[in-house]
Structure 1
Amino acid sequence: MTSSIISQPDPIDQATFEIADHLYRARLAGEVDRESLRSINRSHGTDVATALLYRHFRSRPMEIPFLGPKQGEKSWMIVIVPGAFHKEHPEIGGDGREIRDLAKTNGWRCETVPTASLGTTAFNAESIIQFLNQRTDDHQILTISLSKGTTDLIAAVDREPSIVDRLMGWISISGVPCGTLMADWLLDRWRLRPILNLMCWKLGADKQAVRDLRHAPGSSHQVFQQIPCIHVAGFPLQRHLSNWRSRLWHRRLRSTGPNDSVVLLEDLLGVSGTVLPIWGADHYLKTQWDLRRVTQDLVNKLTTRQSA
């Protein structure tokens, strides 16, 4: 059911993928955990480790469930939870504009939670709770969270678990379920502290917003077990990275393991739900795959009953 969304590696990537496939079958026997992935990353490099992890997720069942609406049930709508810097830098994709445009084209009802672009997780969680609690209609909600929006929505459910009752499903696009080493990198280098403080002051941001994103590997979130959740993640090789910022952060993080330039992809090994790997895309699904295409296919599959 996911064949229209997932692509095979390009021919130019085939040699890397063949090495990864051999290691996956012969050395790991199809079993991947954080330590084995990091071992491959050290011995064969990040590109091979990325291809191996992609191979692992491709080998798992990836059926996309039909969520509704069924005959006689409530209608549905999309609610977007945007990512960080969605006001200051909308061009990076975190504002959800592409999804709103797509919804307008398809006639889908769609609204965006007014989270603070540089807000703390606690502040944005409260904004999400208020947004959902103030709704008086009976629409079931398909949430689409972008990057840090996933962190904020997790925090909202942790604070008020009852909001899950309004959610029919969750698409997390380039989500940050376990924080990011990007935050650790900025916070732990004393030489960068004055720069970080100046940046926060200039942007009017609370430094706590960065602390909230410290990497917390192995974080377990009950919400992913309560509703159907699809984690869409880019799996880029170094040649796929779309801009200087992606290349810079990918280089900083790759000594630890495969990443999309923000998220360590090994964090997806521990989340419940369906992981949908997008080959050749970096954070926000830049490069050969675009956000509109993936969202269009996913929403159609989630809300349209397939013929037997």
Structure 2
Amino acid sequence: MAVESASGVTVRRHAVAAPTTFRKSPHPLNAAFVRTWRNPLGFFGLAILGLLVLIALAAPLIAPYDPVVQHPGRELLAPGPDFLLGTDELGRDLLSRVIYGTRPSLVVALMVVVLGGGLGIITGLAAGYLGGWVNALLMRFFDAMFAFPPILLGFVIIAALGQGTTQVAYAIALAVVPTLGRVARSLVLKERNRDYVLAARCTGARNGRVMFLHVLPNAVSPMIVNLALVMGFSVLAEASLAFLGLGTQPPTPSWGAMLNESRAYLRNDPWMAICPGVVLALLLLGLNYLADALRDAFDPRRVNAGF
């Protein structure tokens, strides 16, 4: 731009563009979790899960009674001011037992996600990336485990390990390994011939480094959705095994065991089954809603469409 000064000398000035600022885009996982939080289904699922986790952690503070203490003469009381959800056939407070019953369900779900999810992802990574005899051996092992229904497989494992919350978690974790392993393998097969994987190989990176630092981060999104579904399956399986007397053992409260104990009193004292049944249904509903919201958040077609 030319400007004439007072002395008649023309001075040429160059306009300087304002510096351009670049905003760092959020990490894909962070963006997906934000979309999950903003999704009404995801918000409901996270709220239910978070509330029950807080209840499990604060159980000694919020439970009005000890869940295993019996109150003679107060058996099968209807909900009232002294016992908000009533009492069972032994005079134990149902509200306290429902509160403490969140613990085995959430502990089993967490252990299954960590143990079963970790083992399934590792075996699926190895089968999909290494191929060859490793893939053949693992796939035949998964096929053999698929021959048994998950609950039946849980019976066999519990018969070998014994009864208890920890044993139930081990049994369910082993039962979900084949499903998670096959999902992880299919995802790795899509990624292992991508350019970034070939570039990592060309730099001399070892197989383990390529699998865990390059392939796994790009295949983790669908696995998160499957792990949310596995949590719901774990809660239901734990309750089913406890209902059959193979899970958490008395006097430790468990929703499945409480439902089993209430069978003989359904006609006259239905609150014994309604209380643990409603909480169990809410947790399962919340986990399923959370899985649906995560699936939508990680779906690139819905993200690009603005959903």
TM-score normalised by structure 1 residue count: 0.27
Compare the two structures and name the one with the higher helix fraction: 2
Compare the two structures and name the one with the higher strand fraction: 1
Q: Which has the larger radius of gyration?
A: 2
